[in-house]
Amino acid sequence: MRREQALNKACSLLREQAKEESLAKFLLMYLLDETTIEFNSKFFEKLDEEIIDTYFKLISTHINEDTPLSHLVGFEIFYDRKFSVTKDVLSPRMETEELVYEVIKYIKNNKLNNLKILDLCTGSGAIAITLKKELEQLNVNTEIVASDISFEALNIAKKNAENNLANINFIKSDIFDNINCKFDLIISNPPYISKDEKNDIQKNVLNYDPHIALFAEENGLYFYRNIIENAKKYLQNDNSLIFFEIGYKQGNDIKKISIKNNFNIEIKKDINGKDRIAILKIN
């Protein structure tokens, strides 16, 4: 069977079950371990029997069990790099790429260098590792600490750091509990979904992303309140910043918490026009 035929067949199987057809292309491309350019240039080549077999088994798994692409192949692409994912880490999302983009833009615009950065709630390590690699390319020197409460998540993050040749200091910590130094920037994409919203969450998120990575007390605001209330002890000086990814309905509540704790706050929207990033500076 040629690639084009396998793709057409997979698309039609997905279409019949009202599933997103783009998965067919990415799944095959990832199984073949090719870039988009390589993949597109070999569109009419024949596939090995073994690949065809694995490919259609995984298409069936996706159809029958709603398994996301990242869990079919065991990795997610984030900022053009490969990150291993398992049941112990959140598959990094596109919205978080926008958070990383904002941090890098801020560093570039302000010509910052020699930065100590903390990634709180690091999960797969996607934020910490991407910042290390992207800033290295811009000749920005960084010392990056990444922490998480989950031992299992930290093991995946360490593997991702090794695979991406990123030198990161990983610490197991319940928020700031084991953090003992000060930072120029604190970045965090903490759990932020209210437990009351559990029934509204898509099944493939509930079944494959760890709940410890998704849900937070206090209507989803627990981590923002805790981090904002304690952050001053961990920020180098008045120019130090906190960058958060936030839930799209949480902007106003996070503004209130910030003002109460003497932080100025700017909320930025994502590409879908929804509140997504909060930038806090000591008032």
Ligand X SMILES: C[S@@+](CC[C@H](N)C(=O)[O-])C[C@H]1O[C@@H](n2cnc3c(N)ncnc32)[C@H](O)[C@@H]1O
The number of angstroms, rounded, from the C-alpha of 179 to the middle of its chain's C-alpha atoms is 22
- CB of residue 81 vs ligand X: minimum separation in angstroms? 13
In the bound complex, what is the minimum distance in angstroms from residue 174's beta carbon to ligand X? 4
Query: Which CB sits closer to ligand X, 23 or 126?
Result: 126
Report, in Å, the least distance between residue 150 CB and ligand X.
Answer: 4
Nearer to ligand X, 28 or 123 (CB): 123
Contact 87/210 with Cβ under 8 angstroms? yes
Choice between 107 and 153, CB closer to ligand X: 153
DSSP string of 110-127, one letter each residue: TT--SEEEEEES-TTSHH
96/250 with CB nearer ligand X: 96
Shortest spacing between CB 207 and ligand X, in angstroms:
16
Q: Angle at CA 278, nearest 5°, toward 82 and 128? A: 30
- Give 22: exposed, middle or buried? Use CB within 10 Å, 0-12, 13-18, 19+: exposed
| Closer residue to ligand X (CB): 6 or 68 | 68
Q: Cβ-closest residue to ligand X? A: 123
Taking the C-alpha atoms of residue 71 and residue 19, their distance in angstroms, rounded to an integer, is: 16
What type of residue is 78? F
Q: In the bound complex, what is the minimum distance in angstroms from residue 137's beta carbon to ligand X?
A: 21
Which spans of this chain sit near ligand X (rule: CB under 6 A)? Answer: 89-90, 92, 96, 121-124, 126-127, 148-150, 153, 174-175, 189-191, 212-213
Distances (CA, A) of 87 to 34, 75, 152, 201, 208: 25, 11, 9, 17, 6
